[in-house]
Chain A
Amino acid sequence: IAGITQAPTSQILAAGRRMTLRCTQDMRHNAMYWYRQDLGLGLRLIHYSNTAGTTGKGEVPDGYSVSRANTDDFPLTLASAVPSQTSVYFCASSDGHAGELFFGEGSRLTVL
């Protein structure tokens, strides 16, 4: 059982380039989330999706977009990367409001 798979695990990217981080889950969870984690800060929610076909903005959505065409996939796109988007990105899913979050292994992105 894979749980949540993220790709790539690590990427170095030139500023201004477009980048999509992929996230796939096989648990049939309705809710999915994208977080960024920076040193000294808590996880910050970028975007979320409560169910396939719907998405919402989190705490730090600017510069990012998401789509949820089906239950399993929730890609995060940086349209034009900037150095401040250097971070570790975690995708997560849950089966309800009070359900625990299951995290992918993270994608370490460096924007130069």
Chain B
Amino acid sequence: GQNIDQPTEMTATEGAIVQINCTYQTSGFNGLFWYQQHAGEAPTFLSYNVLDGLEEKGRFSSFLSRSKGYSYLLLKELQMKDSASYLCAVGDSNYQLIWGAGTKLIIKP
């Protein structure tokens, strides 16, 4: 079966760094996506990895290891507005996205 695993909830302190992990088992691989979803709102795109390595975009970075079926999202210099759910999704062999349940990130002052 196809499966995406990520922690249910994480807590971090304002100004700190947090890493949200995602492991996946899918039929085929056509890229890994990270989305941010604030409570009561729609998901918004953060990053896309298709090759192994680190992609950096401002305070956010995303890493991919295809051989390990593993990715992480790294958030630096955390701000209160980063409190949200972070969704990991993988494109399968049919280019359909398989979604994790999301990681709720709580930022404390």
Contact = CB atoms under 8 A, between A and B. Distances in A.
Contact of A44 (B33, B45, B91, B99): B99
Interface residues of A, number: 18
Contacts of B98: 42
B22 to A, nearest CB: 11
B46 to A, nearest CB: 9
A105 B40 CA distance: 9
A104 B43 CA distance: 9
A90 B43 contact: yes
Interface residues of B, number: 23
A48 B101 contact: no
B99 A98 contact: no
Interface string A74-112: 000000000000000010000001101111111000000
10 contacts: A42-B102, A58-B96, A97-B91, A97-B95, A98-B48, A100-B33, A103-B44, A105-B41, A106-B41, A106-B42
Contact of B42 (A41, A44, A58, A104): A104
Contact of B87 (A42, A48, A97, A106): A42
A69 B42 CA distance: 25
Contact of A101 (B4, B45, B100, B102): B45
Given A90-B43, A97-B91, A105-B42, A43 B48 contact: no
A27 interface: no
Contact of A43 (B30, B50, B87): B87
B97 interface: yes
Nearest to B8: A40
The 5 A-B residue pairs with the shortest CB-CB distance in the complex, in nearest-first order: A42-B99, A103-B42, A100-B45, A43-B99, A97-B95
